[in-house]
């Protein structure tokens, strides 16, 4: 007999996935301990579990998976072949439809770009070195590294009125911070500062006092009393981050950042076996909010559809970037992003996309 942990390691299915497939009757353990509820699997079930993992990675619907497993265990090769071929035809049809839609979208995008008039933007403003340093520190961890998405490879400087918003995202997390400005001359503007240039700017911000930021066409320059950092902006459009940060109202919890970080580092983790958030697998922390407002890292046997699973590394990065003794965690439903906010600064925050537990 294999324990559920051994079955997870040997089959490629996560522990939470095995529990899900037990509850749905797709892969029922050979024995369940009547006292502890612990699941045990027979050796013959390993082949079915590995088959199940492959079928789900291929995107086969659960209803068809049941039939494939039934045909497999009954040695009904014809049924299995027909189901596999039918699913393959569906995938090919979906891919053809997707290619057609993307071709149409590419044409619409090209026409839209052709109708936009290009203009040279010149903006100059002053901000304080500590404010800009704090803003860059708050968002740097969320800068993307995917070479196929160059628009996410830097920090957005959103210059509007008396405020400078700096934003970074890699699709799975986003961080936003604000620095007050004075002497803003010129129109509102958005420029993407490449990550190396943003780091060079941050290295100059080690003193008190004002600094000057200039945008002239496709170049951005930061001047301080100790030097200058200048370079070309990323020649792409940044996503409309304002549309992405309006989260539905949820539960809010004030947590001690140090204690919560220790709970995450020493607490139980689950492994996501599905390619999400830029990696083939990663450690997840499953969180819940208790009735008294405490945020708890769930143990491995605590399953509830209202619990929220997040990439533990991303959450630790967000807590470190916040740099405060206390943070506010904001939860919606299990599929909604988590917000990490500062208690005294609503303009500086980060959001993390949740990860599905059951696949």
Same-domain check for residues 131 and 208 = yes
Which residues are registered as beta bridge partners of 155? 193
Same-domain check for residues 226 and 262 = no
Do residues 358 and 16 lie in contact, with contact meaning Cβ atoms separated by under 8 Å? yes
Same-domain check for residues 256 and 233 = no
Same-domain check for residues 154 and 196 = yes
pLDDT for 359 equals 46
Write down which residue in 189, 217, 242 finishes a domain.
Answer: 242
Longest dimension (CA), the chain: 78
Which residues are registered as beta bridge partners of 253? 329
Write down which residue in 242, 273, 290 finishes a domain.
Answer: 242
With cut-offs at 50, 70 and 90, classify the pLDDT of residue 289.
confident
CA neighbor of 202 nearest in space, from 130, 127, 151, 124: 130
CB-facing half-sphere around the CA of 329: CA atoms within 13 A: 24
pTM of the predicted model as reported, rounded to 2 decimal places = 0.70
Same-domain check for residues 260 and 234 = no
Is 104 among the domain residues? no
Is 95 among the domain residues? no
Please provide residue 270's backbone torsions phi and psi, each rounded to the nearest 5 degrees.
Answer: -120, 155
* Segment 317-358, tens digit of pLDDT: 999 999 899 999 998 877 888 999 999 888 899 999 988 765
List the CATH number of the domain containing 32.
1.10.1660.10
* Segment 37-54, tens digit of pLDDT: 889 999 889 999 999 999
Is 340 among the domain residues? yes
Same-domain check for residues 230 and 309 = no
Same-domain check for residues 234 and 166 = yes
Is 138 among the domain residues? yes
CA 324 to chain centre: 22
Beta strands, E only, the chain? 2-3, 31-32, 39-41, 122-128, 154-160, 163-169, 173-185, 189-194, 210-216, 219-224, 227-232, 251-256, 270-272, 282-289, 295-297, 308-311, 326-331, 338-342, 345-352
Q: Which range (98-102, 133-137, 142-146) has the least confidence?
A: 98-102
Write down which residue in 242, 267, 286 finishes a domain.
Answer: 242
Is 69 among the domain residues? yes
Per DSSP, the residues of 1-28 read: -EEHHHHHHHHS--HHHHHHHHHTTSS-
Is 326 among the domain residues? yes
pLDDT for 120 equals 61
With cut-offs at 50, 70 and 90, classify the pLDDT of residue 187.
confident
With cut-offs at 50, 70 and 90, classify the pLDDT of residue 183.
confident
With cut-offs at 50, 70 and 90, classify the pLDDT of residue 78.
confident
Same-domain check for residues 258 and 172 = no
Q: What percent of the chain has pLDDT over 70?
A: 92
Q: CB under 8 Å to 195, separation ≥6 — which residues? A: 140, 143, 153, 154, 155
Is 114 among the domain residues? no
Same-domain check for residues 203 and 271 = no
* Segment 262-279, tens digit of pLDDT: 999 998 888 765 455 555
Is 290 among the domain residues? yes
List the CATH number of the domain containing 317.
3.10.150.10
With cut-offs at 50, 70 and 90, classify the pLDDT of residue 36.
confident
* Segment 222-270, tens digit of pLDDT: 999 889 999 999 988 898 998 888 776 778 899 999 999 999 999 888 8
Do residues 331 and 251 lie in contact, with contact meaning Cβ atoms separated by under 8 Å? yes
Instruction: Measure the CA–CA gap between 356 and 359, rounded to whole angstroms.
Output: 7
Strand bridging mode 163-169 / 39-41: unpaired
pLDDT for 113 equals 60
Same-domain check for residues 228 and 255 = no
Per DSSP, the residues of 78-101 read: HHHHHHHHHHHHHHHHHHHHHHHH
Same-domain check for residues 251 and 338 = yes
CA 69 to chain centre: 33
69 has a pLDDT exceeding 90: no
For the chain, how many structural domains are there in total?
3
Domain limits for position 64:
2-86
Same-domain check for residues 314 and 292 = yes
pLDDT for 246 equals 78
Do residues 177 and 198 lie in contact, with contact meaning Cβ atoms separated by under 8 Å? no
Please provide residue 22's backbone torsions phi and psi, each rounded to the nearest 5 degrees.
Answer: -70, -50
């Amino acid at each position: 007999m294999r324990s559920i942990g051994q079955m997870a390691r040997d089959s490629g299915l996560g522990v939470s996935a095995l529990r899900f497939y037990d509850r749905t009757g797709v892969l029922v353990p050979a024995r369940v301990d009547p006292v502890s509820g612990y699941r045990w699997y027979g050796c013959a079930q390993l082949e079915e579990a590995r088959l199940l993992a492959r079928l789900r990675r291929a995107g086969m619907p659960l209803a068809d998976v049941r039939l494939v497993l039934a045909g497999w265990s009954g040695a009904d090769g014809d049924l299995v072949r027909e189901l596999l071929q039918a699913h393959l035809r569906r995938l090919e049809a979906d891919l053809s439809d997707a290619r057609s839609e993307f071709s149409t979208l590419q044409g619409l995008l090209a026409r839209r770009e052709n109708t936009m008039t290009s203009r040279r933007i010149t903006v100059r403003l002053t901000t304080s070195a500590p404010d800009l340093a704090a803003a860059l520190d708050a968002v740097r961890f969320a800068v993307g590294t995917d070479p196929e998405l160059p628009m996410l490879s830097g920090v957005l400087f959103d210059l509007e009125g008396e405020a400078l918003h700096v934003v970074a995202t890699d699709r799975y997390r986003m961080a936003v911070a604000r620095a007050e400005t004075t002497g803003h001359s010129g129109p509102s503007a958005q420029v993407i500062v490449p990550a190396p240039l943003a780091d060079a700017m941050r290295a100059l911000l080690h003193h008190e006092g004002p600094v000057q930021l200039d945008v002239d066409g496709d170049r951005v320059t930061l001047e301080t009393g100790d030097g200058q950092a200048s370079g070309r902006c990323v020649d792409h459009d940044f996503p409309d981050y304002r549309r992405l940060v309006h989260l539905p109202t949820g539960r809010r919890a004030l947590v001690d950042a140090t204690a919560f970080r220790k709970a995450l580092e020493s607490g139980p983790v689950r492994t996501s076996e599905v390619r999400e958030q830029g990696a083939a697998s990663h450690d997840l922390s499953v969180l819940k909010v208790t009735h008294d407002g405490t945020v708890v890292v769930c143990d491995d046997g605590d399953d509830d559809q209202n619990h929220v699973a997040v990439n533990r590394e991303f959450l630790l990065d967000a807590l470190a970037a916040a740099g405060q003794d206390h943070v506010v965690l904001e939860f919606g439903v299990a599929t909604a992003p988590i917000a990490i906010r500062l208690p005294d600064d609503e303009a500086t925050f980060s959001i993390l996309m949740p990860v599905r537990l059951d696949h």
